[in-house]
Chains A and B, each alone.
Chain A
Amino acid sequence: MASSIANGGGGHDALRFYLTKTAQFFLVLATTLLGLVAVTFIIGRVVPIDPVLAIVGDRAPAHVYERARQELGLDLPLIQQFWIYLKKAVTGDFGNSVLTTNPVMTDIANAFPATFELATLGTIIGTIIGIPLGVLAAVKRGTLIDQVVRFLGLAGYSIPIFWLGLMGLLLFYAKLGWVAGPGRIDVTYSYLYTPITGIVLIDTAMQGQWDAFWNAVSHILLPACLLGYFSLAYISRMTRSFMLNELAQEYVIAARVKGLSEMRVIWRHALRNAAVPLVTVIALSYANLLEGSVLTETVFAWPGLGQYITNSLQNADMNAVLGGTLAIGTVFVLLNLVSDLLYRLLDPRTR
């Protein structure tokens, strides 16, 4: 009886606890996003290029210049300028891209699926191969396989991604002809389907355009494997470290005492526990691939966010650069949020 009463009280406390937690969580999220906007705003104001001159040209008379300046709101105090910038940012208005003349947000929405497709496939490859490799290295600690995994990991931390991409193109595209070259899909196939999700593999498959699908596969294979390798390097290393930690725990011995097979002890008991921190690692690696995609997309002419940012950079298109940076930062923050939620879901102790 007493315990049920205590439980009732506990339930109430727990509810309040969760509410404060959630409130805190959203507060942190909001301030982080606000900070992201502030950072991009500050970067935008540091630019040595005068945005007014960029519009009116350097021969414009003083009154034209002044009018343009007022239209851009540059005569207002900085804090007021930030307020306007923030209000626009919240509605997704980052101005127009000088390069494409579209609103930056439209460009980002168009470019995002390509990056998403590539980074997701990369993470899937990295996770599917990286986790078993890491487990194997931990179980066979100190053997050849352990050394190989260690070296693969260290190399992944040391190879410039853009260089490995170029070398991959050289070998698998130019010399061996195993995969298609840069781009997402050959022009001949690009009219065979209508973009719906923006993810070529899904669009072509849904519309039954299998030739186009396989062409897209052959295009995405190399960059996805490349990103997959970098994700694998990180994931396998962390898996190894988490597994070594778990395998030394008493409950692993208890599982062996119960007479369970070694496979079950490793994969069901130890890995299930290692999976809790691994979720964070996978989310982080996904976020890192967003970063890697900037260089990879440049190498593979992949029309995603990374290429959009670098193209805009080369044309001093600050609106586009800052919008793209903010978009990637936001995804980064959201990924951290998702990993946090998954962590809670997987670990009964945090529920």
Chain B
Amino acid sequence: MAGSPAFSQPTGLRAWLLSPEPTSRWQARLGRFYLGWRTFTKNPLAVMGLGIVVLLIVVALFADVLAPYSPVIGGDLRTQRLLPPNETFWLGTDDQARDILSRIIHGSRITLFVVVLVSIIATPIGLLVGTIAGYLGGWVDTVLMRITDIFLAFPRLVLALAFVAALGPGIENAVIAIAITSWPPYARIARAETLMIRNSDFIAAVKLQGASTPRIILGHVIPLCLSSVIVRVTLDMAGIILTAAGLGFLGLGAQPPSPEWGAMVATGRNYLIDQWWVAAMPGLAIFVVSLGFNLLGDGLRDVLDPKAAK
């Protein structure tokens, strides 16, 4: 008998979520999520981080509606070029007489695009390499981990630079380059988790039932490694943004006239001393968004891995 009357006394959603005797797996999961959420919201910085990330998503989704001007077509070059922040152009205009605010708003799409795509590419690679190495062990493990270490032996931005140099500049190539340099830490984590799971009884039970190795890895090992890898990916997102912005700054990411924030800072560099806002504003946007991801990742780690939170 589940849900004895003694426990359902204080009714309402909260009581249902906190019920010590959940009646379904769903209820248990939601209850756990609620508990995590409560811990999370106690940390004001983490909530701020979540706010920034949500804001980024909203701005990216509704960029067309939110941006007061076009991000690529400038105004009158004689009268509206390099204007300081004012009532019409809140953050000023750049050398092409384009509204910097509108460009930043549209640039949020590129930032989000990079972060999402890199995570989608790098996470599965890391998971596969890590779980296969950890589960199979032996020489497969040695070879895969040596490869991982070799990739870790390059500083991330430098390796991404070399890849972009080979593939040619552009936002897609930047994404591929960053993804190629991002997976090794995920593989390390997935391997460590797999080593712990590998010898557990339930894996032995699945094996006895005759499950094939790919089936065990895909169906049982990967789902269990997923949460810790996801935390790591979240913590990495600020780094991904900064690497992408760095590539953009060096002219190797999104190409003009695309409103990529790093590239915008590079443009502003030419007008640094007299028209500081051209460089300052997009850089500030990069800072705020990466800070958001960092605060969010920190908060998430506190919730999901209380031991690591010092």
Contact = CB atoms under 8 A, between A and B. Distances in A.
The interface residues of chain B, by DSSP majority, are classed as: helix
Nearest to B251: A314
A154 B295 contact: yes
A36 B147 CA distance: 10
Interface stretch (B67-75, B95-103, B160-168, B190-198): B160-168
A219 B168 CA distance: 34
Nearest to B239: A157
A283 interface: no
Contacts of B2: none
Contacts of A310: 161, 250
Nearest to A141: B310
B262 interface: yes
Interface stretch (B6-14, B23-31, B76-84, B286-294): B286-294
A47 B156 CA distance: 19
B50 interface: no
B166 A170 contact: no
A198 interface: no
A177 to B, nearest CB: 12
A166 B251 contact: no
A313 B252 contact: yes
Contacts of B40: none
Interface residues of A, number: 55
A128 interface: no
Main secondary structure of the interface of A (DSSP, over half): helix
A290 to B, nearest CB: 6
B304 to A, nearest CB: 17
Given A291-B156, A328-B158, A48 B238 contact: no
Contact of B246 (A40, A295, A313): A295
Interface string A1-39: 000000000000000000000000000100110011011
Interface residues of B, number: 49
A313 B295 contact: no
Nearest to A241: B310
Nearest to B261: A160
A291 B161 CA distance: 11
Contacts of B164: 313
A176 to B, nearest CB: 12
A310 B251 CA distance: 10
A166 B265 contact: yes
A30 B181 CA distance: 21
A325 B286 contact: no
Contacts of B146: 28, 31-32, 35
B158 A166 contact: no
Given A39-B154, A158-B291, A321 B167 contact: no
Interface of A: 28, 31-32, 35-36, 38-40, 43-44, 46-48, 154-155, 157-164, 166-167, 169-170, 174, 240-241, 244-245, 287-288, 290-291, 294-295, 298-299, 309-310, 313-314, 316, 318, 321-322, 324-325, 328-329, 332-333, 336
Interface of B: 146-147, 149-151, 153-159, 161-168, 238-239, 242, 245-246, 249-252, 262, 265, 268-269, 272-273, 276, 279-280, 283-284, 286-287, 290-291, 293-295, 298, 310
10 contacts: A31-B146, A32-B149, A36-B153, A38-B150, A154-B291, A154-B294, A154-B295, A154-B298, A158-B294, A291-B156
List the 7 closest A-B pairs by CB distance, nearest first: A35-B150, A163-B283, A291-B155, A158-B291, A158-B290, A46-B166, A325-B162
Given A160-B242, A163-B286, 16 more contacts: A28-B146, A35-B146, A39-B150, A39-B154, A46-B166, A47-B166, A154-B294, A157-B294, A160-B262, A162-B262, A169-B272, A170-B273, A287-B155, A313-B165, A322-B162, A332-B154
